[in-house]
Structures are given as C-alpha cells and as structure tokens.
Amino acid sequence: MIGDRELILRAAELARTAPRSWKEFLGALSNFTDHQKNNCIQSPLDQLPVAQGRAQLAAHLHDLLANCISSADKIEGKK
C-alpha cells in the first residue's frame, strides 16, 4: 500500500470532487477488469502468463480505486 499512496490520495480527491463521474468511471473500469479476466480464462497456454498479469493488475487497480476514499481517510487519519 505504500507504493499506492499517491494514487489513492489523488483518486479520492477526484472521487470526492465529482462523485457521479467517478461512479461512471468505476463502472467502465469494472467492465475493463472483467474483460481482462475473460481474456485470461480464454487465452492460449503460450499467452497465459501475460494475460494473467494483465488480469491481476486490472483487478488490483479496480480494488484500489473502488476503495480509494476509505483508504485515503485512513492515510489522512480520518475516522
């Protein structure tokens, strides 16, 4: 989480500033993440490591951004 700190804080700032747009963005990111997961499942064996890495990164990024406000609150010392 230390390496993600700046991304979390900037994402939370955007989410707080434009909540409707942020929600729409997260929906698009969710669709992208699902697509990467499906690509992983359907990939040929020689492409599996690459597809798996993409799916893992997409899932991590989605989780990080979907929870950015609560994570930023913890970083900023808010309850």
Check: CB of residue 7 under 8 Å from CB of residue 61: no
Q: Please tell me whether residue 65 adopts helix, strand or coil conformation.
A: helix
Number of domains composing the chain: 1
Structure-block tokens of residue 19:
């909540």
Give the pLDDT confidence score for residue 78 in this predicted structure.
75
pLDDT digits (tens, 9 = 90+) for 16-56: 999 999 999 999 999 999 999 999 999 999 999 999 999 99
pTM of the model: 0.87
Phi-psi region of 18 (alpha: psi -120 to 50; beta: other; left: phi over 0): beta
Chain centre to alpha carbon of residue 36: 12
The residue range of the domain holding 35 is 2-76
Helix 48-66 to helix 5-17 angle (10° resolution) is 50
